[in-house]
Amino acid sequence: MSAVPAGATDRVAGKAADWAAHGGVAARARVIGAEIAARHADAVDRDGRFPAEAFDALRAERLLGAMVPAELGGGGASLFEVAAACHALARGCGSTGMIHAMHQIQVACLVNHGGNGWHRGLMARIAAEQLLLGSATTEAETGGDIRNSVCAVTVDQEAGAGRFTLAKNASVISYGDQSDAILVTARRTPDSPSSDQVLVVLSRDDFRLEKTTLWDAMGMRGTCSDGYRLEASGVIDQILPLPYADLSAQTMLPVTHILWSSCWLGIAADAVSRARAFVRAEARRKPGTTPASAVRLAEATAKLQQMKAVILAAISRYELACGSPELLSGLPFATAMATLKVTTSELVREVVEAAIRTCGLAGYRNDTPYSLGRHLRDAHSAALMIGNDRIMSHVATQLLVQRDGSGPFE
Ligand SMILES: Cc1cc2nc3c(=O)[nH]c(=O)nc-3n(C[C@H](O)[C@H](O)[C@H](O)COP(=O)(O)OP(=O)(O)OC[C@H]3O[C@@H](n4cnc5c(N)ncnc54)[C@H](O)[C@@H]3O)c2cc1C
C-alpha cells in the first residue's frame, strides 16, 4: 500500500470546512444515536446482526475518521469528543456504541504510535474511505490475558526480507466480517517470550479470516463477536514500532477503558431515562403524589452521576498525562485506568437494575416503552470484557510496589 495518497493534503481544507459546517462529533453522534441506532436497536439485538444502518450514517457523517489528524483529512477530534459520541450512540443501541468505541480505540493507537508512511497512508484512507477497524487481542490459548501471546510474527523467508506472515487463533473478533483493517497482538518473533508483543496493523488485502465460532450471546449481540482463524502477510512497516507493553500502557488500555466506560454510561443513561419516563407517567396518573418508585429512580440517578464523575476525571487525567510517557507508564496512572473500568462496569449493571426496580413489571416485560431487558443483558458484558477479577488481581499486585503519590488529590 502507498503512503499518503496523492492529493490527500489538498483536500484537507475542504474537509475542515465540512467538519465545521456539520457541527461537533458528539452533536452528530447524538442525532444518529437517537434517530437511527435507537430505531434499529431491538432488531439488531433480536437478530444478532451488525447495526448497518447506524454505521452507514456514521460514515455519511464522516465520524469513523473523527480521531484522524486534520492534516490527514480527519476530524482531529479529542478523546473527550469521541467519548461523548460513544455515550450518545450507546444511548440508542449498546452494540452500536461499543463497535464505535472499539473502532476508535484502534484509531487512537494508530494516531499516537503510527508515524511511518504506511501508517499515515492508512490513516488518510480511514478518513477518506471511512474504513472500520477491528481488533484481535484475545487468543484461544490465552483468553483475556491480552498481555501474553502464543502467535508470532514470522519473517517470510520465501517472499524476501521485509515481509512477514502471521497466523492467530482469534477466539473473538467483533464485526470481523465488516472490518476493513484489524490490529492484532502477537509475539515479536517465534523465539520471543509470550510477553514480548507487538501490535500488527493489517488492511483487508493482508488477511484472510476463517470463521471458527458464531456469536450467540446474552447481550451485545450486534457486535457480532465471532471467532476466527486469522492468516495474514504484510510488510514489516505495518508493525507499530513501540513494544506493545508500552503502547498498551500509554494508549490502548486508557483509551479502551475510557471509551468502553462512556459506552456503558450511555446504556445506563438510557435506562434512567426510561425509568424517569415511567415515574412521570405514574405521577400524571395520581396527581399530587410522588410515586413510591421515585426513590429507586433517585438511587439510579445517583449511581449514574458517580459513573459520569469517574469517567470525566479519567479523561482529565489522561489529557494531563498525554505527552509524558513517564506519567502514562507509571503505576498510579495504570491503577487509575484499571479501576475506572472495574468501577463503571459494575455501576452500569447496578444502574440498570435500579431502573428495572423503578419500573417494575413494565421494565421487566419486553413489550413496553420502559423495557430494560436489552440494557441489562448488554450491561452484563461489561464486567467480562477483560474479567474484573483478572484486572483486580493485577491491581492488587501493583499496589504491593506502588508508593503514595505526591501530586494534588494523590
Ligand atoms: C462484547 C464483547 C466484544 C469483544 N470483542 C473483542 C474483540 O473485538 N477482539 C478481541 O480480541 N476480544 C474481544 N472480546 C474479548 C474480551 O476482550 C476478553 O478477552 C474476553 O471477554 C475474556 O474472555 P474470558 O472471560 O473467556 O477469558 P478469561 O480472561 O480467561 O477469564 C475467565 C474467567 O477467569 C477469571 N480470571 C482470569 N484471570 C484471573 C485472575 N488472575 N484472578 C481471578 N480471576 C481471573 C475472569 O475474571 C473470568 O471470570 C470481546 C468480549 C465481549 C464481551
Say what percent of the chain tops pLDDT 70: 93
In angstroms and rounded to an integer, the radius of gyration of the C-alpha atoms of the chain is 22
Average pLDDT (98-117) is 97
Q: In which residue are the cell numbers 520471543 written?
A: 192
Q: What angle do CA 367, 371, 373 make, to 5 degrees?
A: 105
What are the percentages of helix, strand and coil residues in the chain, rounded to 5? 60, 15, 30
Q: For 27-84, how does the pLDDT look when each residue is reduced to its tens digit (9 = 90+)?
A: 999 999 999 999 999 999 999 999 999 999 999 999 999 999 999 999 999 999 999 9
Q: What is the pLDDT of residue 1?
A: 40
Q: For 193-230, how does the pLDDT look when each residue is reduced to its tens digit (9 = 90+)?
A: 999 999 999 999 999 999 999 999 999 999 999 999 99
**Looking at 152-274, which runs of residues are DSSP E strands?**
154-155, 163-174, 181-187, 197-203, 207-213, 225-235
Q: Give 144 Cα–ligand 1 centroid separation in angstroms.
A: 4
Domains in the chain, CATH or no CATH each: 9-131 (1.10.540.10), 135-238 (2.40.110.10), 244-401 (1.20.140.10)
Q: Does the beta carbon of 174 lie inside 6 Å of ligand 1?
A: yes
Residues 6 or more apart whose CB falls under 8 angstroms from that of 104 comprise: 66, 67, 82, 85, 86, 255, 259
The residue contributing the CA closest to ligand 1 atom 41 is 390
Q: Are 371 and 365 in contact (CB under 8 A)?
A: yes
The closest alpha carbon to 222, from 320, 100, 139, belongs to 100
Q: Kindly give the residue spans of alpha helices, DSSP state H, lying in 22-114.
A: 25-32, 38-47, 52-60, 79-92, 94-113
Q: What is the pLDDT of residue 408?
A: 65
Q: Does the beta carbon of 69 lie inside 6 Å of ligand 1?
A: no
Q: Give 386 Cα–ligand 1 centroid separation in angstroms.
A: 4
Q: For 310-338, how does the pLDDT look when each residue is reduced to its tens digit (9 = 90+)?
A: 999 999 999 999 989 999 999 999 999 99
Q: What is the pLDDT of residue 406?
A: 65
Q: 212 or 158: whose pLDDT is higher? A: 212
Average pLDDT (17-21) is 48
Q: Does the beta carbon of 397 lie inside 6 Å of ligand 1?
A: no
The residue contributing the CA closest to ligand 1 atom 29 is 144
Ligand 1 pocket test, candidate residues 225, 244, 381, most atoms within 8 A of CB: 225
Q: Give 147 Cα–ligand 1 centroid separation in angstroms.
A: 12
Q: Does the beta carbon of 384 lie inside 6 Å of ligand 1?
A: yes
Q: Give 360 Cα–ligand 1 centroid separation in angstroms.
A: 32
Q: Give 368 Cα–ligand 1 centroid separation in angstroms.
A: 33
Q: Give 293 Cα–ligand 1 centroid separation in angstroms.
A: 36
Give the number of the atom of ligand 1 that is nearest the alpha carbon of residue 384: 21
